[in-house]
Amino acid sequence: MHTFRIAAAALAMLICFGCASTPKQEAAPREAAIDVRAAETLRRMSDHLKSLSAFTFATTSVVEQLGPDGQKLQFSRRASIAVRRPNGVHAISRGDDWNKEYVFDGKSITIIDRNKNVFSVAQMPVNIDEMFDTLAEKYGLSFPTCDLLYSDPNATLSADVKIGRYVGMHQVGDTKCHHLAFSQDQVDWQIWIEDGDQPWPRKLVVTYKNAPMVPQDVILFRDWKSGAPFTDKDFAVSLPADATRVELVADEAAR
């Protein structure tokens, strides 16, 4: 089942880079009402990303979570991500509350929590799409920007959309962007896509509308670069000294 895979990422903290357990969606199917301009703009961004064999980008995020007394708290994080299709992803995330790394090399995924000095390794299928599907379906895990890294982001992003609209031309910093808004059963999300010949994603806001206090993630994208000359060393794992291996436990509820 394709869905917006960050639908619960702000609600739990697991060992995986930006990971969370994603609840199933059981809502009755409804006919989608997606504005033509919104659909075309999302597809244009997707076609741009899917045309790239290798690329890098960085993010700055504000993630909202509930404190022990139910108060909504904000945490800042920053990440750098490298992608080599069809079988390489290397992501490093640091912030107020964690220091984690995620490496997929076409054979296995390694997830490192450098604050806790622990890591997990799990065998994975040979390509990025199937790796993300396995993480979500077998382990109940995802990370915030994975939908953009699929071989066809448009198919993944739009699969469970109920309503989609073109909001207008708005700024993200100094960049003029197409502002789109979409609604799904569990989340509402907005995306700002750069205007011009290179329609990079520039901002993503996700609202977890069925969660207590309706938390949000706000993700800003920067430093998009394509054609990076990667080698296998760029997707090699460097473990912390004396790190302890822990098992990546399957989420039974996600099966």
d(CA 207, CA 187): 5
Decide: 112 and 119 in contact? Cβ < 8 Å.
yes
Single-letter amino acid, residue 142: S
> Is the CATH number of domain 33-244 3.40.1390.10?
no
| Domain ranges within the chain, ordered by starting residue | 33-244
Condensed to tens digits (0 to 9), the pLDDT of residues 93-129 reads 999 988 999 999 999 999 999 999 999 999 999 999 9
SS3 241: coil
Chain centroid to CA 94: 15
Return the bridge partners of 91, or none: 81, 102
The string of pLDDT tens digits covering residues 4-32 is 544 433 333 333 344 443 334 444 445 57
Task: Round to whole Å and give the CA distance between 52 and 230.
Answer: 13
CA–chain centroid gap for 250, Å, is 20
pTM of the model: 0.86
Q: How many Cβ atoms are within 10 Å of 174's Cβ, its own excluded? A: 5
The angle at the Cα of 141, spanning 161 to 190, to the nearest 5 degrees, equals 30
E strands within 67-130? Answer: 72-84, 88-95, 99-104, 108-113, 118-123
The answer to whether residues 27 and 185 touch, using CB atoms and an 8 Å cutoff, is yes
Q: How far apart are CA 74 and CA 57, in angstroms?
A: 23
| pLDDT in 10s for each residue of the chain, 255 residues | 344 544 433 333 333 344 443 334 444 445 579 999 999 999 999 999 999 999 999 999 999 999 999 999 999 999 999 999 999 999 999 999 889 999 999 999 999 999 999 999 999 999 999 999 999 999 988 877 999 999 999 999 998 999 999 999 999 999 999 999 999 999 999 999 999 999 999 999 999 999 999 999 999 999 999 987 898 889 999 998 899 999 998 764 443
Token pair belonging to 242: 């004396």
